Amino acid sequence: MTLRRDLLSYLSHEPRSVSRLARELRLPRAEVEDALRHMTRSARAAGHRIVVVPARCRSCGFTFGEDKLSKPGRCPQCRESRIFEPQVGIERAN
Q: How many CB atoms lie within 10 A of CB 70?
A: 17
pLDDT band at 87 (very low <50, low <70, confident <90, very high): very high
Between CA 1 and CA 30 the distance in angstroms is 16
Q: Are 69 and 34 in contact (CB under 8 A)?
A: no
User: Which helix (H) or strand (E) segment is 7 a member of?
Assistant: helix 2-13
Per the DSSP assignment, residues forming a β-bridge with 88 are: 16, 52
| pLDDT per position as a tens digit, 24-57 | 989 999 999 999 988 888 888 888 898 999 999 9
When divided into structural domains, the chain yields a total of 1
> What does the pLDDT read at residue 18?
92
Comparing C-alpha atoms, which of 83, 82, 25 is closest to residue 33?
25
pTM passes above 0.85: no
Residue 74 belongs to domain spanning = 2-91
pLDDT higher than 90, residue 94: no
Q: Which domain CATH number covers 59? A: 1.10.10
What's the mean pLDDT in 65-74?
87
Q: Is 87 or 70 the better-scoring residue by pLDDT?
A: 87
Q: What is the DSSP letter of 52?
A: E
